[in-house]
Structure formats: structure tokens, C-alpha cells
Amino acid sequence: MNRKHKSDLVILFSTLGLMILGLIVIYAIGPMRANVLNSTYGADYDQNYFFLGQLRSVALSIAAFFIAFKFVPYKYIKKFAKPMMIIALILSGLLWVLSIAGSSLAKCELGECRWYNLGAVSFQPAEFLKLALVVYLADFLSRKREEGAIGSWREFWLPLLIVCGLSLFLVVVAQGDLGTGVALISIIFGTLLVAGVPAKQYLIMLALILAVAVGAVATSSHRMERIHAWLDTISGAASSDSTYHIENAMLAIGTGGFFGVGIGNSVQATGYLPESINDSVFAIMGETFGFVGLFLIIFVFGIMLFRMLKVADHTADNDHRIFIVGVFSWTLAQVVVNIMAMTGLVPVTGITLPLLSYGGTSMVFIAFAIGLVLQLSCYTSREVIKNENISSRRGVRGTHYTSRRGRS
Amino acid sequence: MSRIKILKSVTFIALAIIAVRLFFIQIIEHGEWVAKANEAHTLLETITAKRGEIYMMDNGEPVPVVLNQTTYSVIVDPAVTDKEGIKNALEKHAKSYITADIDQVFSTEGLRYYIIAKNIPHKIATAIADENVSGVWFQKSNQRVYPEGETASRLLGFVNADGLGQYGVEGSLNHILSGTDGLLKTISDVNNVALSIGNDNVKIPAVDGKNVVLSVDRGLERGIEELMQAAIDSTPATNAAAIIMNPNTGEVIAMANLPNYNPANYGQVPDASAYSNEATEIPYEPASICKNFAFSAAINEGVMTSSSTYYNLGYEIVDGWTIKNAEQRATLNNHTLDMKTALYWSLNTGSIHALKLLGGNPEEITQQGREKLYDYYHNKFRLGRETGIELIEAAGYIEDPNEGWGRNSTYANMTFGQNLGVTMIQTATAFSAVVNGGYYRTPTIVKGTLENNKITPLSREGVVEDQILTNDTSAMMRGMLINNRSYKVRAGIDKPGYDIGGKSGTAQVIVDGAYDNSMSNLVGSYIGFVGPSGEMPQYVIMTKMWGAGQALSGSEAQSLFDTLSNYAIDYLKIKPNN
């Protein structure tokens, strides 16, 4: 491992900057959200309810971020890769069982049971599953690579398919959470890519998952409806209840124009746009800050993602590299799928915008993961490490450091 | 290419697509989205003006007879989850107002909006709202309330579901009562609650309608309607109408049409004729009542007095038509009679004689006679013309004296009130001029508008105040009319100490374009005046009774007049002169 140096400041500040921006927007639109819920559903939310909730989430997330960054060495995390994965699968599996049993411990919304109800707080096990999967894959793939077992059916693909298949089943089928499913697939294929899976096998697996995905959508009326709604929206067909969400998201973004309507002047947040503070927060930001603001947000996400890749590029340890790319894939999937859904480029899947959306669990876990990336950014070398393709070195054990020049 | 570079490319391409897409939506399509947003967000709401209330007089003070009440409709969203909560709240507070089967509404798929209860008073709506159930809304609406029930319903009219006054005062004074609606244009949230966001908010306040005070006396109206109903119940008549007015001011103090209808349930009538105000809207032939006008004309022209005489054959042949007197007794036929007697027995030959005298030839009807009679009927008494009262009116008709066929017979008929169409209000107003000293005054039924306990008279155009007869003519007519009722005094029907005069009228009804000679279908009318002995009349009362297929002579209407005049003397505290 390289000598420790300063962390990547770009990742540090972009993470903190996005969280603070999210807090400002929730501060502006939270009271409207409270009004909508109070008047439409007879709820009794305080004006500051959502801002205080987000403040608590951001505080917890910053704590998780710095704990991961400074106090929990990655090597300890790595030791628990397998137990973490098992616990994550058990938590998701248990939720499924509880929801079937109709237990009040399982919190359901609109027929989907994705949360544990723990009194005052709720916990979404799928968020933990994403972190566990990244840690597990980093450990598993790097070990297999060390063993030269990558590409082997029994030693590599079979255990991988079991763990990944089980994860996807629990998230997509049991919890009905297509958004997290997309994030998991992104994590799996991102890490497989840099783990050095032979290109042919990689492409076969990619084709396979796409076929499964198409099949899963086509056999579910609920998912087909979303596809139809999306097609109706982009083709400008008649409005319906299904197209309402996308239409109003685009209405919010479109009315923002170049500079936006300004903080606190969002009309779409007053109840027109569903999920205005969670999944649709990007659209409200578009209305509030305009093209300039959204471009800036994408730019910040962009440099953060590129910095993660740069860190990965300069990281010698395979498990570190794979872990960083896992976090990168996770973040990328959520950012791209969320924003593309809001702009009518892909169907709505129900996925949060990392660090900006209202919500505790998702922010805490991604902040923790990015915190670990930041920790690993302290151990990069200046050189780009060119060792991801091992197709020509199959079975050459113990030589995977040979290309490392170790100047630093 | 290194695999990290593949990820870099994927990231760059995805973010670039998003940036281009955002540029497209936010910059290029910006205008379209703003237009769509305005359409979706702008709340255009009418601020409903409060409708004015209607008052009658009672002991010189205005009292409300048509009031407003704010009521609420309850709207539910059947898709909400707390169905039991909604059902319990509604059944607890507003069970009798529920207009639908709640369970059926809740089980209807896809239904998001249903009006489940109507006309709920504010208090009950508040109680339901306090239950704090979700998925329930209230829609405010204004409802007319009638503390007097059915009383004077055909005078007052009603307000239809669109808030438009129909028939009666509600219809004729709708422009004063309704006020002007205001407008609210603003950006609203998803529940149509106005937001303070946006610069082009418009708020034009509503101008409330004015309260209208009628000159009608509430107690008198109520009292005579009871008496009229009793008269209907004891005769073959099915309908009755009456007007009481002050001949010295033209002010109507009672106007009744029976049967009434329930204005709170105005839809439940057999047909629209049940709404019409017989006194002003339906022209008819008042028959012998018109003899007053023909006699007045001849006396006023100086060609006749109450003691002028003519030879009564019992009939008269005009244009080849034989016109008979209704009264054919031997003591009258083939006798020379004075005009006072002719009016007493209501002889048609007498009024035809007045027409001949108007024409300057006692032997026959002339063009001059027709023109003079037309001048009095149409120009002076304003018969066959709208009077200008603040109600919906029909004009009726008076034939031209020089055009058309059979002019002389038409004009002979007109002297005893046939072959013309006039309304009760026209007749009563003209009769007021006959007895009040000769002054025609445009009738009125509105004192004015009421604001802060102050009555402001309406500004009216075309108000007529014109002396059309001399005082002497009027006095002579009063004398003959009092003579008409001399037997009523002897019979003790008319109280001593009062001058009460009157004249009946029995008209054949036109059926299929011709007079029904079977005499089985008659309309009876009576008109008269009341005042202390030796003084000017204080009130003119006109009654009319009829029923489809019923032969109602003037005698039923006359009996009703007797009852009403005695009631009016007591109610209005007219002091006798002994």
C-alpha cells in the first residue's frame, strides 16, 4: 500500500456542498410539502417538519461520512465483507417474511414494503444491502482475481450469481424496488468490469441481465404501465394519471428557464409534483435554480464521479479499486436514472438523488460509502495503474503487483 | 482502451445527454412549459356577489320575507382510505341531508369526486369539518329562505339553480338584487388555494346586490291570502287574484295570486303557469268593470251625467250583431232609464249609449265616438299598455278605432269590457283615477332599496302623474259606484260610516277564438274603493276568481271583495265618519 497522503479535496467538498444545497432546497419547499399533506390528507405536519428531518439526516450523514473517512480503516470493513453481506440479505429477507405475515414491523407504502418500522425512525435495508454488496464484491472479486479464478464457472460465476441473484430478487421482486435494482445492477457490472472479467463473458452476462430485465417488465402490468406512461409523455400523447408525475416534473424543470424562479417561489412544489422533496427534488431544483443551477449540480456530480474514477485509476490495491468503482457505479446509477426519469429520458423507477433527496437511510449509507472512498483516496499513487485486464495472465498467481512501479 | 476509461466515457456520455436534454427543456422549450404551467396553475374564480334580500312592510317597518342562507354541499373522494371515518362523521351530524348511498359511492371504482350531501347549514358543516376526516370537502352555496312560506310566492318569484331570479320580484328586479360578481385570478396550489407567488394576481371584488323593500304589507298580504283561500274552498273557483292599492299614491299594498307554490321547492309545480303573477302578467277581459271607464269618458266630455236618460230596449243591434243586456227584467226593458240605473243594473245598452253620446249622435256609434273612447281608454286610462310597475307585465291590446272590420261592434263591446285585453293592474290603476279625483298615477310596489336601515327610492323612468278626469267627473262616478252598493249597506254587509263603492264584471271566456256562449266558462271580477264617509277613497281593491270550465259570475268576486274590504278596514284601521 502507498504511503498515506492528503485526501481528495474535490470529493470532500462536492459531497458536503451537495448535502448543504439539498438542505437549502428542503428548507424552502418543506413548508409547502407540509401544507399539501395537511390539507389533502388531513395530516398535521409542522412547517419545519421536513427541514428538521433533513437537518437530522444531513447531520447523521456528515457524521457517517467522517467516521468512514477518518475512523474506520477500510481493512476492518473488508474483514466483515461476508458477515455484512449475510446480515444484509437476512435483513431484507426478514422484511419480506414480516410483510407477508402482515407484521407492523414492516412499513409499507402504496403496497410496497421497503422499510422496517422502528418507532420514531424507519430503516430501509436495501440501502444497507447496496453498501454490503459493494464491500462484498470488492473482497470477493479481488480474492478471485488473486486466486486466478475469475471467469471460472464453479469458483467464480456460481457464487456470484447466487449472491447477486438473491440480492436482486429481494430488492426487485420482494420489495418491488426497481430503482434500487438498477443501482445493484450498476454496482455489479461496474465492479465486474474493473475486476477483469473476460470481455466475452462480461458481454454475455450483460445481455443476459438485459433479457431478464425486459422479461420482468413485460410480465408485470405495473411496470408496463410505467413504460407506457413514459412513451405517452415523450410522444406528447394525452395526459393520464400515469403520465402525471413525468409531466409535472418536466413542467417544473421547463418553467425554471435559464435562471430559475428563485428560492421559495416554486409553484410545482405546492402539491402538483408528487414526491417533490424526495425523488423529484431535482425537478424542483430545476424550477428554483433554472438551467444554470441544474448544470452546476450535474457539473458537481460529474467532477465527483470523475474524481472517484481518477482515485480508482491511481489505486494499486485491487480490492480498493473495485470498492471505489462500486461506490462510483452506485452513485452514477442513482444520479443518471433519477435525472433521466425527471427529464423524460427513461421511465420513472422511484430512485433518490444521492445527497440531495429528502430521506435518512439512503443519504447516511451513500455518505458512509463516499467517506470510505475519501479514506482510500489518501493512498493513491501518482501513476495510473494498468492492471485491470488479466485475460492474458490467467493463473499467474502472485504476480498481480508486477506492473506497480511504486515510485511513491 | 482501459476499463476505467470505459466508465469515464459512459459517465461523460450520460451526463452530456442530460445536459443537452436540460438545455432543450429549459431554454428552447421554456416558453411552452411556462404556458402549460400558467394553464395548470392559474385559478380563475368568480367571487359570487351576495344577492339582495326582499322586504315587505309591517307597521311601517321593513321586515324580511326572502332571506339568504349559506349552505354547503359535502363532496367526498371515494378513493381515500378512511371510509368509515367519513361515513361515521356524516351519519352522526348530517344523516337527513345525505343524498346518496354512501357504501355504493365508496365501492365505485375510479370515482374521485362525489357530492354526497346537500343544503347543509353552516353549523352542521362545521361539526363535520371538526371531525378532521380526510377526503372530504365542502362547497359553499347560497340558498334563498322564505320565512313566510308560500305567502305571496307568485309575487316574489324564485331564484333558479344558476342563481338567476325567475318570475315575480326576483325576476323583474334581478338586476338590482343580483349585484355584480367579482373575479379572482391567481396562482394556486394543487388544491386550488391561492398562493402569494406570482405578479399578475387580479382581484376584482364583488358588488353585493341591494335589498329591496316592497310597499306590500306583510300582515295584510297574509290575511287576504287566507280569506281568498277560504273563498276558493267555498266556491267552484280554483283560482283567485287580488290587488289592494292606494289610489292616491299608486302604491300597491297587497297583491295575491292563489294557488301559491312553495318557492323553496319551485320545481314541483304542474306547469310554468303556476309561477305567473296573474295581476300583472295575464291580460283578460274585465267585462262590465270597463263601464266605469266609458261612463267616466262621457261625463268628463260633458255629454252625459248620472241622470242623463236613454230608452232601454233590452238589446242593441250593431253591425248586424245583437248585443243583449244580461239583465232582462220587465221593469227595465222598454223603459227610459237614467245612467245611474244603467250602471246599477250593469246594462250593456247603457254603456253603448255613453259611446254614442261621446260621438255626438245619441242614435248611433260614430267615428268620433270610437276615437274619443280610444283616447280615454288608451291614452288617458292607459289600458292595453304596460303600467310601468316594477314587475313583469303584459301590455294587452286595444283595437284601433279606424282600422279593421266591424269597428262599431268592437267598440260597443269595449264599453262593457270585451274585445280588449287588459291586466288587473291596468284596470285597478285606471279605476284609481276614476275615484281619486281624476289623477292617473303610475302604480308602484317598491318602496326602494334598503341599506343601513335607510330606504332609498328607486329611480324610475316614465312615471306618469296626470289629471285625466275632472274632480267633478270623479265625484259623480264615486256617487254612482256607492249607489251600486246601496243594498250592501242595507244588508249590513258594508259597515256604516264608510263610503264603499264598486262594480262587478262577468266575462265570457274566449275558447278556440270565439266567445263560449254556453255561459259555462266565466271569469268574475269586482273592483271597488273604500274610505271614510264623505272623504276621498283610501284603498282600491280588485278581485278576480275563476276556474277552468267553471261559470263564475261577478258575484263570487263581489263576495270576496266584501270580505276583503271589511278585513282591510279593520287591518288598516280606517276610521268611520258618522
DSSP B309-363: EEEE-SEEEETTEEEE-S---TTTTTEEEEHHHHHHTT-HHHHHHHHHHHTT-TT
pLDDT tens digits for range B352-373: 999 999 999 999 999 999 999 9
Amino acid A241: pLDDT: 56
**Nearest residue, CB atoms, A258 vs list B26, B37, B133:** B26
The per-residue pLDDT for range A173-187, each reduced to its tens digit, is 888 888 889 999 999
Q: Which of B190, B193, B196 to mutate to test the interface with A (most CBs of A within 10 A)?
A: B190
Residue B244, φ and ψ in degrees, nearest 5: -120, 125
Q: What is the pLDDT of residue A387?
A: 55
| ipTM > 0.90, yes or no | no
Question: Where do the H-state alpha helices sit in A158-220?
Answer: 158-168, 178-195, 199-218
Å from B130 to nearest chain A CA? 11
Q: Quote the pLDDT of residue B227.
A: 94
- Cβ neighbours of B194 in A, within 8 Å: none
CA angle (A12 as vertex; A11, A18 as ends), nearest 5? 85
* Chain B residues contacting A via beta carbons under 8 Å: 2-4, 6-8, 10-12, 14-15, 17-19, 21-23, 25-27, 29-30, 32-34, 36-37, 40-41, 132-135, 187, 189-191, 193, 195, 197-198
Nearest CB to B8 within list A42, A306, A388: A306
Nearest CA in chain A to B3: A194
Angle between helix B554-571 and B218-233 (nearest 10): 150
pLDDT 10s digits, B228-247: 999 999 888 889 999 999 99
The residue among B276, B232, B272, B250 whose CA lies nearest residue B544 is: B232
Burial B343-359 (b: 16+ CB within 10 A, else e): bbbbbbbbbbbbbbbbb
Sign of CA dihedral A199, A204, A207, A208: negative
What is the enclosing helix (H) or strand (E) of B154? helix B153-156
Confidence at residue A40, expressed as pLDDT on a 0 to 100 scale:
63
Question: Which residues, at least 6 apart from A159, have a Cβ–Cβ distance to it below 8 Å?
Answer: A140
CB distance A389–B11 less than 8 Å? Answer: no
pLDDT in tens, B172-207: 999 999 888 887 777 776 666 666 655 566 677 888
Buried/exposed code over B384-395 (b: 16+ C-beta within 10 A; e: otherwise): bbbbbbbbbbbe
Q: At what angle do helices A9-41 and A360-376 cross, to 10 degrees?
A: 180
Positive or negative: CA dihedral A344, A345, A348, A351: negative
User: How far apart are the C-alpha atoms of A363 and A60, rounded to whole Å?
Assistant: 9
Average pLDDT over residues B90-114: 75
Average pLDDT, chain B: 87
Subunit contact A270:B4, Cβ cutoff 8 A: no
Please judge whether A298 and B134 are an interchain contact, meaning their C-beta atoms are less than 8 angstroms apart: no
Q: How far apart are CA B107 and CA B109, in angstroms?
A: 6
Q: How many CA atoms lie within 13 A of B53 on its CB side?
A: 18
CA distance B155 to B297: 32
Residue A336: closest C-alpha in chain B: B14
Measured between CA atoms, how close is A254 to chain B, in angstroms? 5
Q: How far is A294 from chain B (nearest CA, A)?
A: 8
Place B338 in a pLDDT band, splitting at 50, 70 and 90. very high
| Residues forming a β-bridge with A252 | none
Quick one: average pLDDT of B479-486?
92
Q: What is the pLDDT of residue B335?
A: 92
Rounded to a whole number of angstroms, the distance between the first and last alpha carbons of chain A is 10
Q: Do A291 and B22 count as a contact with CB atoms less than 8 A apart?
A: yes
Eight-state DSSP code of residue A323 = H
Taking residues B537-553, report their average pLDDT: 85
- Other beta carbons within 10 angstroms of residue A162's beta carbon come to 10
**Which residues in chain A come in under a pLDDT of 50?**
388, 390-408
Tell whether the model's pLDDT for residue B377 goes beyond 90: yes
User: In angstroms, rounded to a whole number, what is the distance separating the alpha carbons of residues B570 and B578?
Assistant: 16
pLDDT band, very low/low/confident/very high, at B517 (cuts 50, 70, 90)? low
Contact residues on chain B for A36, CB-CB shorter than 8 A: 189-191
Cell digits of residue B48? 359570487
Q: Decide if B189 and A35 are in contact by the 8 Å CB cutoff.
A: yes
Residue carrying C-alpha cell 343524498: B99
Q: How high is the pLDDT of residue A399?
A: 41
Calculate the CA dihedral of residues B30, B32, B34, B35 and round it to 10 degrees: 160
- Min mean pLDDT across A200-204, B128-132, B329-333 is at B128-132
Record: contact A298-B189, CB cut-off 8 A: no
Q: Which of A254, A295, A340 comes nearest B33 by C-beta?
A: A254
Q: At what angle are helices A318-342 and A360-376 packed, to 10 degrees?
A: 140
Return the SS3 of B530. strand
Distance of CA B116 to the CA centre of its chain: 35
* pLDDT number for residue A247: 81
B8 and A40 within 8 Å at the Cβ level: the answer is no
pLDDT of the residue at B182? 80
Tell me whether residues B189 and A36 touch, CB distance under 8 A. yes
- Percent of chain B scored above 90 by pLDDT? 48
Average pLDDT of the residues in B329-339: 91
Three cell numbers written together for B123: 353549523
Q: Which three cell numbers stand for residue B138?
A: 365542502
Closest chain B C-alpha to A237 CA, distance in angstroms: 15
Helices A49-66 and A360-376, interaxial angle, to 10°? Answer: 20
CB-nearest to A253 from B25, B190, B193 is B25
Q: Which residue among A272, A309, A345 sits closest to B7, beta carbon to beta carbon?
A: A309
Q: Which residues of B369-380 are buried (b: 16+ CB within 10 A; e: fewer)?
A: bbbbbbbbbbeb
Strands B211-217 and B54-58: parallel
Closest approach of chain A CAs to the CA of B109, in angstroms? 15
Q: Taking CB atoms and an 8 Å limit, are A302 and B4 in contact across chains?
A: no
Q: Phi, psi at residue B449, to the nearest 5°?
A: -100, 150
- Tell me how far apart the terminal alpha carbons of chain B are, to the nearest angstrom: 131
The pLDDT assigned to B112 comes to 64
